[in-house]
Chain A
Amino acid sequence: MSTVRDWAAPNPVTENRSGLIGKPVDRYEGRLKVTGTAAYAYEVETPAPPLYGHIVSSTLAKGRITAIDTSAAAAAPGVVLAWSHLNVPAQAARGTRLNPRSQRASNPALESDRVEHYGQSVVFILADTPENARAAGGLVRITYAAEDADLDFLSSLDLAGPAPGEEDARVGDFEAGYSASEVTVDDTWFSPLQNHAQMEPCATTAWWEGDKVVVHTSIQMVKGGQHALAETLGIPSDRVRLFTRYIGGGFGGKGQAYDDLTLAALAARESGRPVRVAYTRQQMFQATIHRPAVQMRVRLGADRSGRLNAMALEAVTHCARNAPFVEHAASFARNLYAAPHRLTGHRLVLLDIPHAGAMRAPGEAPGMLSLECAMDELAEKLGLDPIELRIRNEPEVDPDNAKPFSVRQLVRCMQEGAQQFGWSRRHPTPGAVRDGRWYVGMGMATAIRGNFLLPAKAGLRLTGDGLATLTQGMTDIGTGTYTILAQITGETLGLPLDQVRVELGDSDMPPAPGSGGQFGAATAGSAAYETAMVMRRRLSELAAGDPRSPLYGEDPTLMDFANGNIVLGNRSESLAALASRAGPEGVYVEGGISPAADARDWSQHTYGAQFAEVGVDSVTGEVRLRRMFGVFAAGRILNAKLAKSQITGGMIWGVGAALTESNPVDPRFGSFLHQDLGGYLAPVHADIVNLDAVLLDEADDKANPMGIKGVGELGICGAGAAIANAVYNACGVRLRDYPLTPDKVLAALEAKGL
């Protein structure tokens, strides 16, 4: 096992001699996406004309199906089959694991007469056209016996219990420290249930080739999807070939397989035809996961100079009764500010609503909406600038575990951000700046998000035409994976980008963990780098051992790679020539990355500072973003253009979280109030003005051989809090109930007599 010390030596990526690393090249698959020729899961060509599936969802939250009549649906025009729990083909019982080393358990669809949440799949129709399938779905008659259900989070708080297997994290004596503090803040925030609302609904196209099923599905994790389907069908994993080449947004919501995958595979087997199944937009809300609501109590105690003495973050959140998930909304605070007395923990309410799960920056995204506002409240009580307060609580070592930071540029992010944003123009008194009917204010917040490296592999083939093709069972959910892997491979092998190909999203390829937790770039990228290094060694040895090579007999460890050649002194040979002599298949190698044995001896995070200026309409209470700016530090940046797109995309998610996004549960039915994009308000173009970000120069040599880290989730962290702080600065209204919609703002303004 390697150690971080092995990673510190200069290497082709860190030396970056041809300058491909960091270069803002266009997206590798961009041409396919702008011409509409990138085939997403529902759109792949099938070996024969497909049939179309349609899922009927339950309109009950909890109970039993007492009667189900699919006879009219089955007899409707074009219908091939109509399944309910009564006649769906056999699947492995839920939770079964048959295959050794399977990463997932079986997940059967239409499993029984039990209904566990509104929107659960209850009937599946297969027909010759989408119109016939959908129309037949409307002919199904279902009778339910309802049971008492816990549906409303805020009225069920007394049901909250400890998160399973977790204990509160305590350092020092919080209660004593808090009561001894000269200045305190004690407030409770609410962050609502939110939906991913990826633009591409979950979809699968499936067909069988003998006893092997081929599925194209929209999923972030290749192996997870392959294993889940194999377990559900009760077949060996190698009889499931899963492709996921282009994914229309994931954000954590496609980290797992859903019923579209299972039902498409089953229906294709039953009908002998290719099958396409997609969720409707309405089904996306309740048949996939969501970010649960979080109620967070924050207590801060400080001395007069602003040094934190005590800090507590206590989160209550929820998940589905039979699908455990904890939104770790308090955990980030453990690594953010120094304080001798600390308490952080999570309580969980089990509800009978759709499944909670990971959504972009799970934990930090809702959690930072509270602490980063509480810090501003504390700053105001102390008469300190919010940035100054944060700097005074900047720790020397990780306050959670006393580990040294690999690199931490949080203060620099705040200071550079303040300067570029014009923070000095902020008026410290709320309500002091008016622009016509608008109150205008500025706010800031910090951002922190962990950095992770997981084990991953990759394959690399060099062919006689001089092309290097990197293959990996990895995904690109819009994150730029194709592009950065091409850059890493090209730089490491000394090849120009037009000689590098990248193929992803195939379960037959060497495995990588997929896209999630902002670990994708570092994990998949490091595997690609290591594999390219294996290729360098292999090619060097080939050249040294081949009498036809100009480098024959030389020391392979001294050979270098540049401009498509392998080079030693003034002798060189093209990689194409070397590969073509190796045979018609060229040269193929595999390689991989594992976390260093001592990597966790350092505290590793990505950091940032968010700045926002808003206007609050004194007449309507509407909050409008006026400008937003962020400075971030996230290791070496592989592609300046794509990394910035990731970061600003995250910031815009923060705007949504602060101002518009929320999906209340209807306590009568257990359904979500918003089941479409007209009701669930993700930011639209006109909501976003003058928003920009910069990434600081950084290399984290404890992270991986390239010193890179993830950027996919950092941008959302703290973004909403900066806006809420700006709202307070604008008009003196401190709302702790997100999102800050006009009704709440207006009521608060009126309560203040404004």
Chain B
Amino acid sequence: MSATSDLGKSYFNETHEQMRQTVRKFVEREILPYVDEWEEAGEFPRELYKKAADAGINGIGYPEEFGGTGPDVFMKIVASEELMRSTSGGLVAGLGSLDIGLPPVVKWGSDELKQKVVPGVLSGEKISALAITEPSGGSDVANLKTRAVRDGDDYIVNGSKTFITSGVRADYYTVAVRTGDSGFGGVSLLLIEKGTPGFSVGRKLRKTGWWASDTAELFFEDCRVPAANLIGPENGGFFCIMTNFLMERLMLCVMANMTAQLALEACLDYVKEREAFGRKIGQFQVTRHKLAEMATQVDVSREYTYRIASRIEAGENCIKEMSMAKNFATSVSDRVTYDAVQIFGGMGYMRESVVERLSRDNRILAIGGGTYEIMNEVIAKQLGL
């Protein structure tokens, strides 16, 4: 069926392929029968976190001592690719918010914090979210405004965050705050728990796509957070945030590639059925060539993503290439989802067709985790410009 498993042979071993089967079954059984309902409802049941954990999805990449199965970049890719077959980017983002919220805790949190937070998230009982973006801006992380002032054994936090994935339902928030002077050298990461006095969550934001994920605004008013919840060194948070972006961007590449792949697959089926002017629309040369180009783009993008993933797995610091991969993958998914809607004609604009959802869900991918322009800034800087 999918080209993914066949073309990627060199990167995936037998264990990866077995897990691919597991996640595929998980999606077929636990998600696909309900996904349209959940999309319209604007959220999926909380118990899905637990079910995903039981299948071993949450634990991928995390240390065994906390219930994980150890580092494996391609295992992460396998799970994400197969979850994307649910056709709901929002569900994948919501279920996957632990993968942006938790890694800083695991890497730089104190032992007590790790013991407290990580096992519950990996077992699917608790939800983790990452909160960097603020109403005043998300691109310019170095100038974030939420303040945390040290007071005895606590920090007192004031400010707000917005567009936070899993923001409504999360239990643990990994929050970027300003503890020091202006600029990147004054930024820290703090773990803030739901229910902490002074911390409140706004309404669920209404979005173009990613309907099944709960995206929210967060407010902190004299919110007292134990200093022990500091993740990494005080005023050293910027580095942690930037490091964390690497895997987030890789996952966004996978989402973009899969969004395009699913749109392509839907078109390949549709053009063999749909007729106009007395023949299948797949028999018009313009359509054939359009599909040939879509397939080429998706393939090249996926292979480049895999290549960068394998360099990350080997321990290389591919900041520049990761940004290139993200911009390439999202350009491809922009174009492929646009073309897919076009090929579907009026049906491509209707909610009953999968390409309609894919085209909406796609739009965020060139914005979240660093915008297209910010990616180009990163690349340009690495080029010595």
Q: Do A and B come from one complex?
A: no
Residues of B whose CB lies within 8 Å of any CB of A are: none
